[in-house]
Amino acid sequence: MKYFIFRNYTVEPLFVNFDAGYSQYGDISVLDQEADIYLWFYQISPNPDPVSRGNEIDDFLRKIHYLIKQIPPTKDLYVFSLVDMFPFKWQNSDFSIEIKMFEFNNKIFELTKLYPNVRLIDLGDFVRDYPIDSIINWKYYFTSFTFLNPSLAKQFTIWFSKKSDAIQLKRKKCIILDLDNTLWGGVLGEDGIEGIKLGNSYPGNCFTEFQRYLVEASNNGIMLAICSKNNEADALVAIENNPYMILKMDHIVAHRINWENKPTNIKSLAQEMNIGLDSMVFFDDSPVERELVKQAIPMIEVPEFPTEPYNITPFFKDVLNCSFQIYKLTIEDKKKTSQYKENWKRSNFRSEYTSIDDYIKNLEIEIEIRSVDGFSISRASQMTQKTNQFNLTTKRYSESDINRFIKDGNTVLCASVKDKFGDNGISILTIITYDSSDKSAHIDLFLLSCRILGRGIENVFLNFVLNQIFLKGFKRVYASYVATGKNELAKEFYKNNCFIEVESKDAEVKYLKELNEEILIQSNFKINYA
């Protein structure tokens, strides 16, 4: 990832660990075309005259407007918000700079809605962690024109990497919770349903507050699961009936409340929820359990759960900052908990039917296929980043990459799938590129979110796509499967759909299919193409 940084001060010490180029101070006339991402890192000067400080801000805005027009829409511009690192007033009643800065940040926020490639990064989020007099080192300011104290460079690097990961969608998916002394104070088996510590006074209020955060986490697309050694029936009664419980079973995607060992339970939770163990974070107050889980499942994240109840809230904020940052939630993210619950109902429903065909028919599946556009692009990019199991080539694309495919006239299709239990949202994506020299089409990417697997939707969708290619006048279709260690599930996909293997090299197997006529799609699904 190559950055190009527009700046009006020396910022090089902050980005030593990044592949970055820099503009001249205050210059916006030169734009490095090679860069993948552009950064805007301007600060207002510690000028004693508030009017000229205000003018600087106006000038920043004009420059950003100009830059947005210069930067191709396929590349991102990250704008750092303005923070007053040198708050100083001649009159205490003068708030003109605060208001100007607020207006600037707000205008950038408005721009992010108009231009999806503009992202706002709140620098205040970093600066707030340090005392104001350590933010600027005046020696370096006057000798090297450095604004942010270079001795904070290491912390800045870590912070910025997390922010940029959040924009590029690398976050965990699920929190696994223990019950006793984690979700509530005390031990249910000893203290009873009314005796566990929850409520308005210490220490119960710490756990209640923690639960408020958990509920909000669930509303923000983080899945919650329970893994606890308790009597299941007692625990469920406590959760539903203790009046101070804020978290209810509705917020819980799946649970294992039994006397099995925790690693076994966690693995089976991962299987049920259809997510990787590396996307889980495990909360348990017992160091023994934590160690056991860490040893057995090294890829799971196991933070040190605090021993003092009053430290749970700050602890949880840290975990959220480290592992669950996201730039923007999609509608699919927000619905995640209910979608997984519907899936669970589906699999229960399955056992009521004698044949799988019978079951699928009764699901009343509808597939809605459309070209990726401004509304679906963030979800499309997200799927390329997060889908591992049924992903034929596992190419990770940013929104800008996908935009480029669309602009170059390739086919980028997504589909949403719903059935009688609910709407799974957009969960299929494919990208087809064309080579007019030999009239061939290439399936660059083909993926299905794992929550809709097991119903044969992938085959129907593939045939639909092949027909689209055929109707465009292309008769040869090339496709490949690239093994990643996580996508074993999709290995035979093209073979099963009558593709011929033409080449096998390292992890990649290449396939070809000649199209002679439109394929008749026989299925129990309703397909809508808009």
Partner 1 sequence: MNEEVKNIMASVFKTRIENITDDLNQKNVTFWDSLRHLNLIIELEEKFGISFEPEEISEMTTFERVIFYITKKI
Enumerate binding residues for partner 1 (CB under 8 A).
Answer: 10, 12-13, 16, 139-140, 142-144, 146, 150-151, 153
Smallest gap from residue 4 Cβ to partner 1 (A): 16
Q: Which two tokens stand for residue 400?
A: 């800008």
As a whole number of angstroms, the distance between CA 348 and CA 352 comes to 7
As a whole number of angstroms, the distance between CA 153 and CA 176 comes to 34
As a whole number of angstroms, the distance between CA 320 and CA 128 comes to 17
Nearer to partner 1, 149 or 211 (CB): 149
How is 273-339 classified by DSSP, letter by letter? HT--GGGEEEE-S-HHHHHHHHHH-TTSB-----SSGGGHHHHHHHHHHHH---S---HHHHTHHHH
Smallest gap from residue 27 Cβ to partner 1 (A): 17
- Residue 46 burial (C-beta neighbours within 10 Å; 0-12, 13-18, 19+): middle
Nearer to partner 1, 150 or 203 (CB): 150
Smallest gap from residue 34 Cβ to partner 1 (A): 20
Of 275, 224, 277, give the one whose Cα is nearest residue 450. 275
Of 430, 335, 422, 418, give the one whose Cα is nearest residue 380. 430
Of 2, 71, 80, give the one whose Cα is nearest residue 37. 2
Nearer to partner 1, 152 or 273 (CB): 152
Count of Cβ atoms closer than 10 Å to residue 295 Cβ? 10
Nearer to partner 1, 41 or 104 (CB): 41
Nearer to partner 1, 90 or 142 (CB): 142
As a whole number of angstroms, the distance between CA 201 and CA 133 comes to 37
Smallest gap from residue 16 Cβ to partner 1 (A): 6
Contacts 24+ apart (CB under 8 A), 134-138: 135/85, 136/46, 136/85, 136/86
Smallest gap from residue 32 Cβ to partner 1 (A): 18
Nearer to partner 1, 149 or 384 (CB): 149
Write b or e for each residue in 477-500: b if 16 or more Cβ atoms lie within 10 A of its Cβ, otherwise e.
bbbbbbeeeebeebeebbeebebe
Smallest gap from residue 87 Cβ to partner 1 (A): 25
Smallest gap from residue 510 Cβ to partner 1 (A): 41
Nearer to partner 1, 106 or 151 (CB): 151
Smallest gap from residue 15 Cβ to partner 1 (A): 11
Residues 56, 58, 62, 65, CA torsion sign: positive
Nearer to partner 1, 146 or 398 (CB): 146
One-letter amino acid at 133 equals D
Nearer to partner 1, 15 or 207 (CB): 15
Nearer to partner 1, 12 or 209 (CB): 12
Of 279, 271, 257, give the one whose Cα is nearest residue 323. 279
Of 132, 127, 18, give the one whose Cα is nearest residue 81. 127
As a whole number of angstroms, the distance between CA 26 and CA 44 comes to 11
Nearer to partner 1, 2 or 65 (CB): 2
Smallest gap from residue 48 Cβ to partner 1 (A): 22
As a whole number of angstroms, the distance between CA 73 and CA 93 comes to 42
Smallest gap from residue 154 Cβ to partner 1 (A): 9
Q: CB under 8 Å to 340, separation ≥6 — which residues?
A: 223, 253, 254, 273, 451
Q: Which two tokens stand for residue 463?
A: 């045939």
Smallest gap from residue 41 Cβ to partner 1 (A): 16
Contact call for residues 440 and 431 (beta carbons, < 8 A): no
Nearer to partner 1, 7 or 442 (CB): 7
Smallest gap from residue 56 Cβ to partner 1 (A): 24
Q: Which two tokens stand for residue 266?
A: 């966690």
